[in-house]
Amino acid sequence: MSMNESNHSLSSNASEYSTTTGQIEVENPKMSMRNVDVSYGDKQAIFNVNLDIAKNEVISMIGPSGCGKSTFLRCLNRMNDTIESCKVSGDLLLEGQDIYDPKLDVVPLRARVGMVFQKPNPFPKSIYDNVAYGPHIHGLANTKFELDEIVEKSLKKAGLWDEVKDRLDQPGTGLSGGQQQRLCIARTIAVSPEVILMDEPCSALDPIATARIEELIDELSANYTIAIVTHSMQQAARVSHRTAYFHLGYLVEIGSTDDIFTNPSHKLTEAYITGRFG
C-alpha cells in the first residue's frame, strides 16, 4: 500500500482517529483536561480531547495547520475568552480546580498559567519595566529592592541578564528578536507561574536564537510545567518529553517523544512526522 493511498483513506474517515492512541493519564497531573470541545460559532474546532499534563514536563503539541493545537493550548489559560464566538466545554482542571469556574478570577489564573506568544511582544517600556510590570500589579514585591531582585532573577533564568544588565532602562523593543522573546519569557517567569504555555515561540527567530530558547525550555522544565505548540516537528523532538499529535480537531496520539519520533503507533502520526502530509 502506498503512503498516498493510505493518506487518502485515512483523512476521509474520522472514525479512524477520533479515539486517542496512547496513554492520556499521568500520575498527579498538573493539568487535567477531559471531554474538551471547542467551537467558534457554528464551527467546531476541537472534538472531545482528553489529556493530562504532568508536573514539570515539557509537552509539545504538533499537527498540520488548523488541527486545533493552538486552540487547545489557548484553552489552558482561558486565552480564548477574548474571542466572542468561542465556546469551550468539558472539564479543564489546574491541580484539580476547574479553571472555567464562573466564579474564578481569570487574572490570577493567567499568572499561574503564563503564556509566551509566537511574535515577541514586549511592552513599549524599558527592559526593567517589562519584567517588573507583572510582579508589580500582582503585588509580588513590597519594596523596590524585592522588585529588583525578581527582575534580576527572572532575566537570569531567561538567560538574558548578561546581555541586558547594563541597559535595563532602555526600551525592550530595541532588543533583537531572540532577545525580545527571552524578555517575554522573563516577563512570564517574573510572576512565578506554575505552567508556561508557548505558542510557536521560535517561529519568528533565527536558528541560533531558536537553539537558545530551546536550551532555555530545557532548563526551565526543572521548575515549570511547559506546554508548547510548534510547527517544527524537529523542535518538538528536541525539547519535549511527551508529544501530542492533533489532526482536524482530534487528539490522535499522545506518547513519549522518543516513541512518537521513532515508532509512532498511529499511521496518521507516522505520515505527518515523516513528512508525507500536513
Write down how long the chain is. Answer: 278
272 binds other proteins (CB under 8 A): no
Q: Restricting to residues 208-247, which ones interact with other proteins according to CB under 8 A?
A: 208, 211-212, 214-215, 218, 234, 237-238
| Distinct helix (H) and strand (E) counts, the chain | 11, 10
Stretch that binds other proteins, among 46-54, 148-156, 222-230, 258-266 (CB under 8 A): 258-266
Stretch that binds other proteins, among 2-10, 16-24, 77-85, 207-215 (CB under 8 A): 207-215
x/- letters, 139..178, toward other proteins (CB under 8 A): ----------------------------------------
Cα torsion at 85, 32, 18, 253 (round to 10°)? Answer: 120
Stretch that binds other proteins, among 2-10, 55-63, 170-178, 257-265 (CB under 8 A): 257-265
Neighbouring C-beta atoms of residue 6, cutoff 10 Å: 16
**Between 177-190 and 144-157, two packed helices, what is the crossing angle to 10 degrees?**
130
Residue 115 one-letter amino acid? M
Q: Please identify which residue in the block is written with the cell numbers 497531573.
A: 29
Stretch that binds other proteins, among 78-86, 91-99, 170-178, 253-261 (CB under 8 A): 253-261
| Contact indicator for 32, 174 with CB cutoff of 8 Å | no
Contact with other proteins (CB under 8 A): which of 134, 261, 271, 272? 261
Closest to 75 (Cα-Cα) out of 49, 54, 56, 43: 49
For other proteins, give the closer residue by CB, 60 or 225. 60
Question: How far is Cα 24 from Cα 61, in angstroms, rounded to an integer?
Answer: 13
Task: Copy the grid coordinates of residue 148.
Answer: 529588583
Q: How many residues bind other proteins (CB under 8 A)?
A: 13
Beta strands 58-62 and 242-247, pairing class: parallel
257 binds other proteins (CB under 8 A): yes
For other proteins, give the closer residue by CB, 44 or 256. 256
206 binds other proteins (CB under 8 A): no
Residues near other proteins (CB under 8 A): 208, 211-212, 214-215, 218, 234, 237-238, 257-258, 261-262
